[in-house]
Amino acid sequence: MKQHEAAEELTKRGFRNDKGEAIGPSLIANWEQGKRSPRDLRMLMELANIYQVSYAWLVCDPGAPQDRQEITLIEKYRDTDERGKRAIQGIADAQPVYEIDRRAKREG
């Protein structure tokens, strides 16, 4: 999503800048570049919804899930029994090997 689209979405949802004006793309750019920060927690939550990322990821927690799909996978992992967790771990451990094999076949 582009900055102007995010700004339009925030404005449609009733958010305004510090002067009470519509949110502009330059304000979004300033947030992205770390020059300014949104002061309204509700606005941050809406931005997370607009960009379809978690709030924690949006506020730069590098270990936070990046999107709803990842959050759902983590929740399912936590809800499964030990056998299921071992199976999931086996798949996760095998993934890099699979990627290496796939690259080798393409290059070979």
Task: Report how far residue 95's alpha carbon sits from residue 108's, in angstroms, rounded to the nearest whole number.
Answer: 20
% helix / strand / coil in the chain, to the nearest 5?
65, 0, 30
Task: Report how far residue 92's alpha carbon sits from residue 46's, in angstroms, rounded to the nearest whole number.
Answer: 32
Render 47-87 in DSSP notation, one character per residue: HHHHHT--HHHHTT-TTS--SHHHHHHHHHHHHS-HHHHHH
Report which of residues 71 and 46 the model is more confident about. 46
pLDDT mean over 74-97? 86
Report which of residues 95 and 43 the model is more confident about. 43
